[in-house]
Structure 1
Amino acid sequence: MTFPFPGARAGRDATDDPDDAAGGDAYTLVGAPLDASTSFQPGARFGPDLVRRFAGAYDDYDRRTDSQFSAAGVRDAGDVRAWDAAADYLDHLTAELRAAVIDGTVPLVVGGEHTVSWAGVRATDPDVLVVVDAHLDLRDAYDGNPLSHACVTRRALDGLDDGDYPTVDDVVVVGARTGSRAEWERADRADVTVVPPEAAADWTAGFGDRDVYLSVDIDGVDPGFAPGTGTMEPFGLSPREARDVVRAVAPACVGFDAVEVNDRDDGQTAALAAKLLREFVRSHSAADAGAE
């Protein structure tokens, strides 16, 4: 495994050591290689390793934000090993991410299938979920499974009947271009906003003082740019449009993930996911610095 994410320090434990480059941890990166419900092309279990590996080519310095990624205070806590019992795994992952929040850091999750985003939402308890995604993921169950990757946005909105789970007030799905009839009917309700790919460039992120969780399902990007994913859907976002969404949303965020990267290309999808994660950290850090 390529470890840690380039520019991050490796370690399970948080630090506030002022001798560190960033004066302590601000972000905790966690790999979540769950690959239990992938319905077409499996391989998301390899996503965390691939994203780390293909981040290795990027310069540490960023001209736009005049910042070094290595000074942002990212701690790579490694992977939370996945197993077949998805419900138990999500509970465990939620606890790991909640510990990162309690440590005062922003969790950065690298999947793994999209189901892991529900753990991020549960750990951070945001008001709004913004998802870059080709699919609505608003099914109540897929093939009888309410914890399928095709149900994650519905879980964030409505939870499950068997537990008291944090839910979001509103969802914005940027890049959605497919879904079942029932999903589109659920999307017609006031708590869901769908921004199709052709409208993404004109979409304005405005959340007031509400907390946001941002999830990037890499299949939201057109498969011509990101073919290494489980369920490809043509006519998607360009990488630049996805980047602009990340930059716009990051300042309001309490958590972030990049999911659904698999090993079925030559690394271009993992490279894009890694770049979007870095864009998130740079934009979030810059906003925090400006607020001080």
Structure 2
Amino acid sequence: MFPGAADEREGTDAAGTADRGGANFVVVGAPLDATTTFQPGTRFGPRRIRSFAEPFDDYDHRTDQHFSDLGVVDRGDVRAWDDIEEYLEYLTSTLREAVWNDAVPLLLGGEHTVSLAGVRAVEPEVFVCLDAHLDLYDAYDGNPLSHAAVTRRILEDVDSVEEAVILGARTGSEAEWERADADDVTVIPPEEVGAFTRENLADRVADRETYLSVDIDAADPGYAPGTGTTEPFGLEPRELRDVVRTVAPHADGFDVVEVNDRDDGQAASLAGKLVREFVLSHAAERL
């Protein structure tokens, strides 16, 4: 269970069905590890994120809120299996249930492919993503549902999405950069993310339904080495935090993905802190 969240099993009715009608946020783990490249291990991501969030204080001085007072419910993990398309459909329905109950889904990955389920459930107009990679392959190794193709799938398969804003991207194939030149993609390189966040980001998502995704490899691997495909010259944790704080009040869905078990908890700790920052910032403005 994510620290400070209520267990879904608390408050079940006589039939054993959880009552999430009063939840403001619903945590769902998605330990998919099917297409991860280079270093696998994202199946352990949800567990590690929850675990390394344990030492964080419940009280947040900046927003004068207690995390445990904000209506966060942890649904647990949706166990992954090897049929990716079928798994994403099931995961989408799970997350959509939270949306229908007027709660914000908080998805803990798992590989980045699970973001497609989150976006399908929320149906936003703009997809904001912190990521080292463009993830704009039409297919990777012949697989259109690869984690390396997730932003392309979101743009082309989810009708509501008008634009993808990719923050911190610093690598991609020639074909991906050509796709990124289209009008529905905005790429902000790492060295420009700070200024863009301060000057443009809030206006870019204001009055637009938004989904925010954090691929932990957006951070420089010196800060978050526990991820599948590390890419140097990345963002500092405070830059990720500032993006999350800026977008959270406008976002109706959130995920943090690509955390694995190949470090001493740095990536999971950062991911857990970003989940909290999202909840605290969203709640401070909208609850």
TM-score (norm 1): 0.92
Q: Which amino acid aligns with 1:240?
A: R
Alignment of 1:109-124 (within 5 A): 109-124=107-122
Q: Deviations over 1:161-209 (max 9, x none)?
A: xxxx444100100000000011101111111110110001101212231
Q: Equivalent residue for 2:162?
A: 169
Q: Which amino acid aligns with 2:106?
A: L
Q: Deviations over 1:37-81 (max 9, x none)?
A: 011100000000000000000000000000000011100000000
Q: What's the Cα RMSD here?
A: 0.9
Q: Which amino acid aligns with 1:14?
A: D
Matched positions, count: 274
SS in 1 for 2:228: coil
Unaligned runs of 5+ in 1: 17-23, 160-164
Q: Equivalent residue for 2:237?
A: 239
Structure 2 distance, partners of 1:145, 1:167, is 23
Structure 2 distance, partners of 1:41, 1:260, is 10
Matched, 1:226 2:224: yes
Structure 2 distance, partners of 1:149, 1:167, is 21
SS in 2 for 1:65: coil
Matched, 1:264 2:257: no
Q: Which amino acid aligns with 2:118?
A: G
Q: Residue 155 of structure 1: which of 153, 156, 160 is its match?
A: 153
Alignment of 1:100-115 (within 5 A): 100-115=98-113
Q: Equivalent residue for 1:200?
A: 193
Q: Equivalent residue for 2:276?
A: 278
Q: Deviations over 1:73-111 (max 9, x none)?
A: 100000000000000000000000001111110000000
Percent identity among equivalent residues?
63
Q: Equivalent residue for 2:13?
A: none
Structure 2 distance, partners of 1:15, 1:94, is 17
SS in 2 for 1:213: strand
Q: Equivalent residue for 2:33?
A: 35
Q: Equivalent residue for 1:191?
A: 184
SS in 1 for 2:54: coil
Q: Which amino acid aligns with 1:104?
A: D
Q: Equivalent residue for 2:5?
A: 8
Matched, 1:58 2:63: no
The answer on whether the counterparts of 1:14 and 1:75 sit within 8 Å (CA) in structure 2 is: no
SS in 2 for 1:145: coil
Q: Which amino acid aligns with 1:186?
A: R
Structure 1 distance, partners of 2:260, 2:19, is 29
Structure 2 distance, partners of 1:92, 1:40, is 27
Structure 1 distance, partners of 2:272, 2:101, is 24
SS in 1 for 2:178: helix
Q: Equivalent residue for 1:21?
A: none
The answer on whether the counterparts of 1:14 and 1:103 sit within 8 Å (CA) in structure 2 is: no
Q: Equivalent residue for 2:141?
A: 143
Unaligned runs of 5+ in 2: 10-17
SS in 1 for 2:206: coil
Structure 1 distance, partners of 2:235, 2:269, is 16
Structure 2 distance, partners of 1:166, 1:38, is 26
Q: Which amino acid aligns with 1:45?
A: R
Structure 1 distance, partners of 2:3, 2:248, is 20
The answer on whether the counterparts of 2:38 and 2:228 sit within 8 Å (CA) in structure 1 is: yes
Structure 2 distance, partners of 1:235, 1:88, is 36
The answer on whether the counterparts of 2:8 and 2:20 sit within 8 Å (CA) in structure 1 is: no
Runs of 4+ in 1 over 4 A off after TM superposition: none
SS in 1 for 2:26: strand
Structure 1 distance, partners of 2:23, 2:155, is 30
Q: Equivalent residue for 1:46?
A: 44
SS in 2 for 1:7: coil
SS in 2 for 1:6: coil
Q: Which amino acid aligns with 1:242?
A: L
The answer on whether the counterparts of 1:156 and 1:167 sit within 8 Å (CA) in structure 2 is: no
Q: Equivalent residue for 1:89?
A: 87
The answer on whether the counterparts of 1:47 and 1:270 sit within 8 Å (CA) in structure 2 is: yes
Q: Deviations over 1:209-232 (max 9, x none)?
A: 110000000000000000000000
Structure 2 distance, partners of 1:189, 1:172, is 12
Structure 1 distance, partners of 2:248, 2:81, is 31
Q: Which amino acid aligns with 1:281?
A: V
